């Protein structure tokens, strides 16, 4: 019997990168060069997102507007409201730096691949999941920076006018270029999805290394202790549990079918690590990034484990998983 690690392989690579940055952080000119490389990697990532995301997928299925509106409300309204409620916790329990990370996590878009995959495993409405997850990511390019600007000044951070140019050049423009070139390069991107996926991950690991190198040189680990990490883990578990419970309740109150309930639960409860890490590097100051993305990295692993278990529970009543439509 083949042994399988209980932790996602990419999360393991992320943790290894954090450990490497903690022991061998980039300094001086090396840090400056790595920073330039990370900026190029971020632009490349969002170019690939634009190349892959079909606007058609986000527009199809508009007849199910109530379901899609519920997913968007969970992603961009419910999550931020729960994040704001956590400000009631004293600083001794949730320090401002970690609270900023939790609030940033709450304003991120949903995932695409894992939302669709878990919906398929659970026997849900895969076509609607494609539509909702794609729309979430398309809207997130605009909504996440806007929500950061609106909500995060109280968390000691936010989007300044100077950062808006970085957001435009490193996020919006590459994404728009990818959308423009999609008719010509979309088929090529689909054919080479495995290779581009590897390049995605390498780029994200580079961003994480630069972020945590800057955090280590600014003393990130001296500001945290084991107790705070345990509390942060518990908050991430509670946050995901609350959203999963509320999305199930909302689906049943709204009279959604079982297949549509699955879409709301899986698309409405996830947060995108792939979008969140590069966005954080663009939006926040270098010394802040390591602390801000820490909750997202924990939440990512928790959501994968919890949703894998939940998808199997849903599948018990429908053993035949739905097919994932080709783009």
Q: What is the pLDDT of residues 39-62, one digit of tens each?
A: 787 788 778 777 876 666 556 556
324, 117 in Cβ contact below 8 A? yes
Q: Which two tokens stand for residue 203?
A: 């780029």
pLDDT number for residue 322:
47
Which of 269 and 179 is assigned the larger pLDDT?
269
Q: Is 239 helix (H, G, I), strand (E, B) or coil?
A: helix
pLDDT number for residue 205:
78
Q: What is the sign of the dihedral through the CA atoms of 244, 109, 14 and 93?
A: negative
Distances (CA, A) of 78 to 65, 184, 239, 243, 269: 18, 38, 11, 8, 10
Q: Is 17 helix (H, G, I), strand (E, B) or coil?
A: helix
Q: How confident is the model at residue 326 (pLDDT cuts 50, 70, 90)?
A: very low
110, 270 in Cβ contact below 8 A? yes
Element containing residue 34 per DSSP (H, E): helix 28-52
Helix (H), strand (E), coil (C) string for 253-284 = HCCCCHHHHHHHHHHHCCCCHHHHHHHHHHHC
Which of 111 and 165 is assigned the larger pLDDT?
111
pLDDT number for residue 154:
53
pLDDT number for residue 10:
66
107, 168 in Cβ contact below 8 A? no
Distance CA 300, CA 304 (A): 6
pLDDT number for residue 184:
87
Which of 144 and 190 is assigned the larger pLDDT?
144
Element containing residue 303 per DSSP (H, E): helix 286-315
114, 261 in Cβ contact below 8 A? no
pLDDT number for residue 224:
72
Element containing residue 308 per DSSP (H, E): helix 286-315
Tens-digit pLDDT profile for residues 197-211 = 777 777 777 877 877
The whole-number average pLDDT for the span 238-246 is: 97
- Predicted structure pTM score: 0.76
pLDDT number for residue 237:
96
pLDDT number for residue 323:
43
Q: Which two tokens stand for residue 284?
A: 């926040």
Tens-digit pLDDT profile for residues 64-122 = 889 999 999 999 999 999 999 999 999 888 988 889 999 999 999 998 777 888 888 88
The whole-number average pLDDT for the span 174-201 is: 81
The whole-number average pLDDT for the span 121-131 is: 84
Q: Is 94 helix (H, G, I), strand (E, B) or coil?
A: coil
Q: How confident is the model at residue 11 (pLDDT cuts 50, 70, 90)?
A: low
38, 210 in Cβ contact below 8 A? yes
pLDDT number for residue 167:
66
| Helix segments in 152-225, DSSP class H | 161-167, 173-191, 193-217
pLDDT number for residue 327:
40
Best mean pLDDT range from 62-66, 221-225, 242-246: 242-246
The dihedral over CA atoms of 156, 302, 106, 270, expressed in degrees to the nearest 10, equals: 160
pLDDT number for residue 8:
60
């Amino acid at each position: 019997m083949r042994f399988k690690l209980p932790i996602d392989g990419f999360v393991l690579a992320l943790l290894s990168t954090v450990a490497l940055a903690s022991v061998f952080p980039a300094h001086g000119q090396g840090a400056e060069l790595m920073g330039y490389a990370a900026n190029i990697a971020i632009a490349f990532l969002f170019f690939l997102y634009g190349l892959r995301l079909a606007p058609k997928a986000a527009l199809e299925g508009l007849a199910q507007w109530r379901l899609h509106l519920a997913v968007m409300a969970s992603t961009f309204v419910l999550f931020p409201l729960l994040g704001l409620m956590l400000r009631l916790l004293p600083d001794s329990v949730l320090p401002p730096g970690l609270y900023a990370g939790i609030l940033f996590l709450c304003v991120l878009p949903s995932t695409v691949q894992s939302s669709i995959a878990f919906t398929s495993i659970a026997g849900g409405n895969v076509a609607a999941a494609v539509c909702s997850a794609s729309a979430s990511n398309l809207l997130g390019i605009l909504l996440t920076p806007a929500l950061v600007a609106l909500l995060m000044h109280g968390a000691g951070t936010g989007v300044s006018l100077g950062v808006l140019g970085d957001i435009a050049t490193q996020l919006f423009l590459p994404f728009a270029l990818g959308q423009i070139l999609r008719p010509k390069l979309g088929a090529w991107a689909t054919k080479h999805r495995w290779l581009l996926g590897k390049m995605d991950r390498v780029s994200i690991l580079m961003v994480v290394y630069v972020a945590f190198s800057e955090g280590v040189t600014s003393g990130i680990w001296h500001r945290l202790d084991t107790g705070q990490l345990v509390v942060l883990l518990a908050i991430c578990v509670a946050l995901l549990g609350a959203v999963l419970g509320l999305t199930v309740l909302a689906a049943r109150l709204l009279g959604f079918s079982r297949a549509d309930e699955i879409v709301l639960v899986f698309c409405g409860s996830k947060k995108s690590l792939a979008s969140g890490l590069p966005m954080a590097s663009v939006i926040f100051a270098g010394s802040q990034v390591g602390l801000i993305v820490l909750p997202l990295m924990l939440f990512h692993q928790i959501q994968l484990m919890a949703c894998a278990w939940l998808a199997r529970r849903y599948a018990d009543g429908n053993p035949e998983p739905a097919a994932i439509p080709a783009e």
